[in-house]
Structure 1
Amino acid sequence: MPALAERITANLAEVRDLIVATCRRQGRDPQGVRLIAVTKEQTPEVLAPVVAAGVFDLGENRVDHLETMHASAPTGARFHFIGRVQGRQLAKLAPFCVAIHSLCDADHVARLGRACVESDRRIEVFLQVNVADDPAKAGVRLADLEARVELVRRTAGLEMVGLMTMAPLAPEGGQADDATIRRCFATLRGLAEQHRLPRLSMGMSEDFVHALAEGATDLRIGSRLFR
C-alpha cells in the first residue's frame, strides 16, 4: 500500500502542476477546476490514497462497480457517473452519485428525476453532447440541445449544471490531431455559453491540457493517475 500511495500521490502532483500552469497561462483560477479521479478500472485499495491526497470526486462508468467502490469509500468521497446510461439502472444511481456526466435521452431525464425525488436527492446533470452531430454517435444532437437543457431545468431532483463531451478519434483510430480536439472542446464551450451553463466536463488523461485551454471546469482523469 505505501508504494501504491506514493505512486498515486506523485501522479496527482504532476497532474495538478499541469492544471495550475495551464490555468495561469489562461488567466484562470485553478481552484475553479474540479479533478475527478476515474476509478472505473481500479480496485477499492486506490480510494484511500486518492482521498488522502485531497481528491474527493471519483468517476465510475458501471453501476455494479460504483456500488462496490461506494461501499469501500472513505468519508467525504463523492461519486460521479460518467458511463453510458441504461434506463433500468437509473434508479440505482440516485442514492450514490452527486453528478451524472452522460445523460442524453429525454426519457432518462424523467426517470432519473423521479429516482432522485424518491431518494430525497438532488444530482448535478451534465448533458452529453454529440458535438459532431453524427447520428452514429452518442449524445444529444445539436438541434435537440435547447429542449433537453430546458427539460432538465424543469425536472425536480436534477440540477442542470453543464455539458460533457469526449475528444474525437482520428478516422484511422487513435486520438485525433490537436487542432481537431481543440475545435471540439471550443464548440462545447460555445454551446455552454449559449445556454448559460457554468460547467464543462471535458478532458481526460491524454487531452486535459487542451480541454483546460478551452475552458474545462471538470476533468475526468484515470490512467494518468494510476499508471
Structure 2
Amino acid sequence: MTIIADSLQAIQANIHAALTAAGRKDNVQLLAVSKAQSADKLRNAYLAGQRAFGENYVQEAINKQQQLSDLNIEWHFIGPIQSNKTQLIAQHFDWVHSVDRLKIAERLSNARSPSLPPLNVCIQINSSEEATKSGASLAETIALANAINTMPNLILRGLMAIPAPANDYATQCAQFKIVHTAFKNLQQQGFAIDTLSIGMSEDYVAAIHEGATIVRIGSALFGARSIPA
C-alpha cells in the first residue's frame, strides 16, 4: 500500500504544480486507470484516497466491482465499446468516456435503467485522425453531441481523446490544443459541457496546460500490470 500511496501523493503534487504553471485556478480529477490491475491494488489506492477508477474491459471490471462492492467507487469505462457490451456497460458504470458513434450512444441510453442516475458520457474524438484509432472525426462531433442531448438516460459531459504518442512537450501541447479547441467550439455552440478527458502517464502535464479536467493515469500510479492482458 505504501508504494501506491506514495505514487498517488506524487502525482497529485505534479498535477497541482502543472495547474500552477498553467495559471489555472480550477482542479483536475485524477482517474486511476486500473486495467489489468488486481482488486487488491485498487483497494490500496482507495484506502490512500483515490475514488475514481477507469477500466477498459467489461468483464474484468465487473469482477473487480464485485470484489470491491463495499467501497464507494466511481467507475469509469474508458475502452473501445463493442455493441454487444453496451448493456453491461450501461448497467455497471457511472461514466463512459469512449462514445464514438451514434449507434453506441443509442444502445447505452436504451440499456440504462431509469432507476439509475443518467450515465455521464464523453465523446471520444480521433483528433490525430489515425486510421487504427477509435473516435469520431472532428467534423462528426457536433452532430453526435446534438443526438446525445436528446437521449433521456445520458448526460453529455465533454470530450475524450488519445492523441498520437509524442515524446516532446511542445508536440504534446499542440496535439492537446486541437482537442481543447473542439471542446471550446462545442461550448460556444451552446453545449453545457465541463469535462475534457485528456492526458495519460506520459503526457498529463502537457494535457493540464491545454485544459484537461480529467487525466487518466495508470502505470505511474500502479506500476506493472498484475493481471495478464
Task: Report the equivalent of 1:63.
Answer: 58
Unaligned runs of 5+ in 1: 170-174
- What is the Cα deviation at residue 52 of structure 1? 1.3
CA distance in 2, matches of 1:127, 1:16: 26
Task: Report the equivalent of 1:44.
Answer: 39
Give the direction of change, closer, same or farther, for the CA distance of 1:53–1:107 in structure 2 (3 Å limit). same
CA distance in 2, matches of 1:158, 1:92: 15
Conserved? CA contact 1:168–1:176, under 8 Å: no
What do residues 127-176 of structure 1 show as CA deviations (whole Å, max 9, x unaligned)? Answer: 1101123444321011111100111111111110110111313xxxxx44
Three-state SS of the structure 2 residue aligned to 1:140 is: coil
Residue 217 of structure 2 aligns with an amino acid whose one-letter code is I
Task: Report the equivalent of 2:190.
Answer: none
TM-score, normalised to structure 1, is 0.91
Percentage identity across paired residues of the two chains: 30
Conserved? CA contact 1:22–1:212, under 8 Å: yes
Task: Report the equivalent of 1:180.
Answer: 171
TM-score, normalised to structure 2, is 0.90
CA distance in 2, matches of 1:120, 1:14: 35
Give the direction of change, closer, same or farther, for the CA distance of 1:29–1:50 in structure 2 (3 Å limit). farther
CA distance in 1, matches of 2:66, 2:19: 35
Conserved? CA contact 2:126–2:162, under 8 Å: no
Task: Report the equivalent of 1:194.
Answer: 185
Aligned length: 217
Conserved? CA contact 1:114–1:157, under 8 Å: yes
Task: Report the equivalent of 1:216.
Answer: 212
CA distance in 1, matches of 2:32, 2:48: 11
What do residues 53-106 of structure 1 show as CA deviations (whole Å, max 9, x unaligned)? Answer: 111100100001110111122421111000010011010012221111111011
CA distance in 2, matches of 1:177, 1:24: 21
Task: Report the equivalent of 1:7.
Answer: 3
Three-state SS of the structure 1 residue aligned to 2:216 is: strand
Conserved? CA contact 1:94–1:119, under 8 Å: no
Conserved? CA contact 1:189–1:214, under 8 Å: yes
CA distance in 2, matches of 1:86, 1:99: 16
CA distance in 1, matches of 2:60, 2:132: 27
1:64-103 map, 5 Å: 64-73=59-68, 74-103=70-99
